[in-house]
Amino acid sequence: MDLPPLSHQALFAAVRSADAAAVRALLADAEASGTSLAALAAAQTDAGETALYVAAEAGSEEVVRLLLPIYDLEDASVRSRLDLDAFHVAAKQGHTGVVKEFLGRWPALCSVCDSSNTSPLYSAAVKDHLDVVNAILDTDDSCIRIVRKNGKTSLHTAARIGYHRIVKALIERDPGIVPIKDRKGQTALHMAVKGKNTDVVEELLMADVSILNVRDKKGNTALHIATRKWRPLMVQLLLSYETLEVNAINGQNETAMDLADKVPYGESKMEIIEWLTEAGAKNARNVGKVDEASELRRTVSDIKHNVQAQLNENAKTNKRVTGIRKELQKLHREAIQNTINSVTMVATLIASIAFVAIFNLPGQYFQDVKDGGDIDHLGRLGNWCPEASYQDCK
């Protein structure tokens, strides 16, 4: 039976005004007059919206409860010209009560997606509707694994926007979604560092730190992305993880430092370069090469540490400082054998100054081959030479 135009128009008018009493009366009149309720349910506006869709979008929970009995799953799943069905639009709008009404009748709606394979969960998550997200996951948590045609999960986009509470809720339900890659090969971490919420990044890495150095299809790690997007706080946070590959080279033969050099001059650039430098970052052309300045700093630091350790030991036990002498002799030998190594030569000079001062300390023991050890009251150690080959020391 065809639906009388008057009934159609009156129903939509009552639904749009959220007039539950009018809707109830119209449905009762239609049933009493023999009007097909199925035809009433299937009626659509020029925008392809059913009465149930209009009520769901508006969040009219009481009206939705009145309309649901006249719909079957097929009619309820009809999409408007916006490519959404009634349940999906309610989830997107954050109408938790309406969502629960639908789920109580048709739990399968959790997995019904639009033409881009976007699920209701995704639409709720990217709008920060936490209650709706939880309601859907309480009904069917398997829909958390639904990916859009671009390969992105709800976690990808929530992380990009910076919705920490959504990210946390999704991970708590299924930590296994953290390493999922989209069609570009990017994980939710790649997406998160494009944003500004460091809490999201920490949440992701707390769940699965193995994604820290994952590369996308262009070879970019999260550090590459954060640097390219001028996100100094993200760069600083990533550098705090010891397992970070600070000098990873992407498919364009670029490290994070190379990308930092391309960042327009400003405070962000200076901060990023400063933190990368402190972490030992290099340009791709220098990766694998010895950084003489760094080597020198390390060598001098080691010498300082060893000298102090020997002095502390000597002060406690009055033992000879033969360990220091042997180390100095070793440094001189290395300098002689490799005179082109500026790091060794400079370190040797520094070490020589430090050690000569030690050997000139009053009361130190002097080791004599014949007599064993005697107290050096005559200052003979001032003329001591670490290698017999240095004739001018004699």
State the Cα–Cα distance between residues 223 and 257, nearest whole angstrom. Answer: 10
Q: Report the share of the chain in percent with pLDDT over 90.
A: 66
Which superfamily is assigned to 1-120+132-137 in CATH? Ankyrin repeat-containing domain (1.25.40.20)
When pLDDT is averaged across residues 46-57 and rounded to a whole number, the result is: 97
For 163-188, the pLDDT digits (tens) are 999 999 999 999 999 999 999 999 99
367: which strand partners?
373
For 91-115, the pLDDT digits (tens) are 999 999 999 999 999 999 999 999 9
Other C-beta atoms within 10 Å of 122: how many?
30
The answer, as to whether pTM is greater than 0.85, is: no
Give the largest CA-CA distance in the chain.
128
For residue 377, the model assigns a pLDDT of 42
State the Cα–Cα distance between residues 56 and 84, nearest whole angstrom. Answer: 11
Contact between residue 202 and residue 236 where contact means Cβ atoms under 8 Å apart: no
Q: Which helix (H) or strand (E) holds 354?
A: helix 342-359
When pLDDT is averaged across residues 235-255 and rounded to a whole number, the result is: 98
Q: Report residue 255's pLDDT band, with 50, 70 and 90 as the boundaries.
A: very high
Assess whether pLDDT exceeds 80 at residue 336: no
For 274-284, the pLDDT digits (tens) are 999 999 999 99
Other C-beta atoms within 10 Å of 233: how many?
17
Most confident of 109-113, 295-299, 319-323: 109-113
Range of lowest pLDDT (49-63, 67-81, 83-97, 359-373): 359-373
Delimit the domains of the chain by residue range.
1-120+132-137, 292-393
Q: What is the dihedral of CA 145, 147, 152, 157, to 10 degrees?
A: -60
Q: Report residue 362's pLDDT band, with 50, 70 and 90 as the boundaries.
A: low
Nearest 5°: CA angle at 275, between 274 and 281? Answer: 95
Scored b (16 or more CB within 10 A) or e, 61-81 reads bbbbbbbbebbeeebbbbbbe
Tokens of 333: 């030998």
Strands 365-368 and 372-375 come out as: antiparallel
- Note the Cα 179 to chain centre separation in Å: 11
Question: What's the whole-number average pLDDT of the chain?
Answer: 85
For residue 266, the model assigns a pLDDT of 84
When pLDDT is averaged across residues 6-16 and rounded to a whole number, the result is: 87
Scored b (16 or more CB within 10 A) or e, 130-167 reads bebbebbbebeeebbebbbeeebbbbbbbbbbbbbebb
Q: Report residue 320's pLDDT band, with 50, 70 and 90 as the boundaries.
A: low
Assess whether pLDDT exceeds 60 at residue 391: no
Contact between residue 11 and residue 26 where contact means Cβ atoms under 8 Å apart: yes
Cite the beta strand spans of the chain per DSSP E. 365-368, 372-375
Q: Report residue 304's pLDDT band, with 50, 70 and 90 as the boundaries.
A: low
